[in-house]
Structure 1
Amino acid sequence: MSGYMDRFIADARRRETLVVQPRMGFGNIATMRAGLRDVHDLDFPVVGTITVDSYTRVGDHVSSIERLRAGEELNGYPIVSHPMEKTREMLAGLYGPGFPIQVRHGTALPLRVIESLVLAGLDTTEGGPVSYCMPYSRLPLEYAVSAWAESCRYLVGEVEHGHIESFGGCLLGQLCPPSLLIAMTVLEGLFFAQHGVRSMSLSYAQGTHDDQDRAAVRVLRALAQEYLPSVTWHVVLYTYMGLFPSTPDGATELIRSSARLARDTSCERLIVKTVSEAWQIPSVAENLDALRVASAAAGGPRVAAVPQEKEYFDEIMEEARCLIEEVLNLDADVGAALTRAFALGLLDIPFCLHADNQNRTTCVLDDQGALKWGDIGNLPFRGSVRQNAMGQLESSELYRMLNHVAHRYDHGQPNREKGDDGKS
């Protein structure tokens, strides 16, 4: 089968060009094809996206078609419900070596979606046993782990180059210290590899502080080289996942800053948001504009690391490695280790209300605007990490955290190349 994603990314890496990708999906087949065609026709490296609808995400494969027949719009493409021959016709002449397409779905039980994308001739998707269960589902974690193990085995059994992108680096990313995001995406990568996947991407969501993010992506790359030496992988960055700026200028600058972050840290791919994220589902035109902005912003020279990045790098590396090692020491089966780690609180996602998450940890913004641990619950940190935890979080502080990035960019925060003080 194809393996288009790996070859496309490898070619872009050789040319030192960032690949950009939208998050769009439409229920109507003709509209979905038109959107893919417009992305395909851009004159810089892009990956196409088919994002599935919310009915499909929860396993309802009837309501989506009923809504379409009633003339309503969906927030994604019901890949399980549309006739397979129609989906193949939609992809004809677009999907190929110069235009990989990824199916993005948000499903804790992904087998039906993965079966459908394989039947459509595709081989690339995203998710993970934790990252698509904890934020999006009430399903017990052990069920999601079992379902994802089965789905991984199905994918690699049916296609030669099945590719999965861990969503672990985006777990409530706007309110989560980088070390947990990195540990989760590496652990999900190890889970995929244990079930036969040999082609994957590892995610990280842009956070609240440029230097901290730059250090974090470098930590992710270093740990991936150490823990995943026998698979093909690349790093994908997400434009900020939290509350987006409400002004066009602020939103555009945040998109640019994510592209510069991706460029400076050698990320191979960037998932791009649009200027309308704060108030509506983006149109095709808005997605195209955002892709152009991001691609152009990534075209400048890389900015060298600043001294503060070394401090962040050492801190994040110590925490992330500790989390990974503690989980791997629990069980040789990575899925069983993940389930046990959450039961013991050795993994604990701040502000995540899933029943299998202890929800004892919190994070805060320090006086520099970087994400730090507030309460570390039962996380296995020792020494300086435990001593430097910043304590309980007030409700007013949570509100400030949620609005921090949007407020900065809506009020003209200087960009990274000028420094935090606005000086060149």
Structure 2
Amino acid sequence: MAGHFDRFVTRSRDRGTVVVQPRMGFGSLRAMRDGLSQVASLGLPSVGTLTLDSYTRVGDYTTPLERLAAGEELNGYPLVSHPAEASRALLEDLHGPEFPVQVRHGTALPLRVFQKLVEVGLDATEGGPVSYCLPYSRLPLAQAVEAWAEASRYLAGETQYGHIESFGGCLLGQLCPPSLLVATAVLEGCFFRQHGLRHISLSFAQGVLAEQDRGALRALRTLAAEHLSGVDWHVVLYTYMGLFPKTPDGAAALIADSARLARDTGCERMIVKTVSEAWQIPTVAENLAALRLSAEASAGTPLPATALDDAFYDEVLAEARGLVETVLGLDPDVGTALTKAFARGILDIPFGLHPDNAGAVTSVIDDRGALAWGSRGGMPLPGSTGGAGVDDFGSERLHAMLNHVANRYDCAAASS
């Protein structure tokens, strides 16, 4: 038996619809309630979001209320700073079986956030010991692992249906070959299960090539089925997490393609971006328009199973399975295994600058248009070890990779 969040997603899946979700967050109680209310009123299968502000993410719970008192805006909702009764009032008559709400936060030290979300009556959140440490924090990985273990046990103990979405599939997703995204999501799922959680979702970020993404999402489901027995899990797709098209038509086409990708691969939920991602923090109206666009694009007939790409599936599955099995073999404790894996370069994030990341690997966009490994460092990957090394990977090549998707969609929009 699942709680509001999981039951809602399951019902939508059984109806053949993809749940759509914004990344919306506002500092003031009035603005946040208004945003949630408008999403709830859309009549779409949607999940509400409390995206927390950047001060809360680094453990500063005083500055948010000072800024709000001065009439300034925040880039998210300061859940820990606002009184619990105020947040409960904000959620009243909104959060429930037909409109679950998830807290999205970005902090490597999540316990205080988890305590507050439970206090206000919520039980769904996201992140992970790796995925919210290495890209966003300077916190030592071992410390983040310990903090996430404590917070996961707290959520499991204090809620009946506590749910965490691994952010592992978004780990610098715009530059990371999908096998590492798949492996990290599955490993974080194993970590959460080890610490008592039985309701989990696994993320994956749309990449540079739809065929590769379809194969990777199949691989993610295969490995989740192998390693997450006894767990209620689903897959959530993120619209492209890298540099976004600068034109409204290019951005809209990318969003629609991500929704069709979610539909074709059976993703139960998707995190939606807006056409204004390239130049501003999206407004409520822009979020609503993106949710409508995504729901409409995902409502068509899925591609037949015969059209889903076996070649990329086999490739991503072999790489990701090797990574997962190697890491899990390092130690019975999944958190310790993750720490050892990064210390030995078995897991290594391309272009990741965290001190605990070896930084010996690179990625390239190959002649298929897919994300592939360049230099492989110490990662246990099958196949050739050729490709661009760290030393010969120049800024021009990196810049071209970062802009690859945005330029493709903007050029297509300009020529149509």
* TM-score for both structures, normalised by structure 2: 0.97
CA contact (8 A) 1:108 1:144 kept: yes
Q: Which residue of the partner structure matches residue 84 of structure 1?
A: 84
1:123-144 CA distance string (max 9 Å, x none):
0000000000001110000000
Pairwise CA distance, 1:367: 2.0
Whether 2:15 is the aligned partner of 1:4: answer no
1:238-253 mapped onto 2 (5 Å cutoff): 238-253=238-253
Q: Which residue of the partner structure matches residue 260 of structure 2?
A: 260
Instruction: State the AA in 2 paired with 1:310.
Output: D
Whether 2:61 is the aligned partner of 1:58: answer no
Q: Which residue of the partner structure matches residue 148 of structure 2?
A: 148
Identity %: 63
1:216-295 mapped onto 2 (5 Å cutoff): 216-295=216-295
CA contact (8 A) 2:190 2:228 kept: yes
SS of the counterpart of 1:356? Answer: coil
Instruction: State the AA in 1 paired with 2:362.
Output: T
Q: Which residue of the partner structure matches residue 208 of structure 1?
A: 208
Q: Which residue of the partner structure matches residue 194 of structure 1?
A: 194
1:22-79 CA distance string (max 9 Å, x none):
0000000000000000000111100000000000000000011111111100000000
CA contact (8 A) 1:374 1:393 kept: no
CA contact (8 A) 2:249 2:413 kept: no
Instruction: State the AA in 1 paired with 2:263.
Output: R
CA contact (8 A) 2:114 2:151 kept: yes
Pairwise CA distance, 1:308: 8.0
SS of the counterpart of 2:85? Answer: helix
1:202-236 CA distance string (max 9 Å, x none):
00000000100010001001110111011000000
SS of the counterpart of 2:369? Answer: coil
1:220-263 CA distance string (max 9 Å, x none):
01110111011000000000000000100000000000000000
Distance in 2 (alpha carbons) for counterparts of 1:29 and 1:329: 47
Instruction: State the AA in 2 paired with 1:160.
Output: Q
Q: Which residue of the partner structure matches residue 172 of structure 2?
A: 172
Distance in 2 (alpha carbons) for counterparts of 1:388 and 1:261: 30
Whether 2:12 is the aligned partner of 1:35: answer no
Distance in 2 (alpha carbons) for counterparts of 1:108 and 1:223: 26
Against the structure 1 CA distance between its residues 59 and 308, is the aligned structure 2 distance closer, same or farther, given a 3 Å change threshold?
Answer: same
Distance in 2 (alpha carbons) for counterparts of 1:388 and 1:158: 49
CA contact (8 A) 2:80 2:113 kept: yes
Q: Which residue of the partner structure matches residue 139 of structure 1?
A: 139
Distance in 1 (alpha carbons) for counterparts of 2:393 and 2:264: 33
CA contact (8 A) 1:2 1:123 kept: no
Q: Which residue of the partner structure matches residue 369 of structure 1?
A: 369
Distance in 2 (alpha carbons) for counterparts of 1:182 and 1:36: 31
Distance in 1 (alpha carbons) for counterparts of 2:348 and 2:238: 22
SS of the counterpart of 2:174? Answer: helix
Distance in 2 (alpha carbons) for counterparts of 1:303 and 1:157: 41
CA contact (8 A) 1:165 1:202 kept: yes
SS of the counterpart of 2:412? Answer: coil
CA contact (8 A) 2:348 2:360 kept: yes
Pairwise CA distance, 1:306: 6.5
Q: Which residue of the partner structure matches residue 104 of structure 1?
A: 104
CA contact (8 A) 1:155 1:162 kept: yes
SS of the counterpart of 2:202? Answer: strand
Moved more, 136-145 or 405-414: 405-414
Pairwise CA distance, 1:199: 0.1
* TM-score for both structures, normalised by structure 1: 0.95
Moved more, 260-269 or 308-317: 308-317
Unaligned runs of 5+ in 2: none
Provide the aligned length of Structure 1 versus Structure 2: 413
Distance in 2 (alpha carbons) for counterparts of 1:55 and 1:308: 43
Pairwise CA distance, 1:389: 4.5
Unaligned runs of 5+ in 1: 415-421
Distance in 1 (alpha carbons) for counterparts of 2:396 and 2:372: 17
SS of the counterpart of 1:160? Answer: coil
Pairwise CA distance, 1:388: 5.5
Q: Which residue of the partner structure matches residue 161 of structure 1?
A: 161
1:7-33 CA distance string (max 9 Å, x none):
001101110100000000000000000
Distance in 2 (alpha carbons) for counterparts of 1:86 and 1:67: 17
Pairwise CA distance, 1:413: 6.8
Distance in 1 (alpha carbons) for counterparts of 2:90 and 2:364: 46
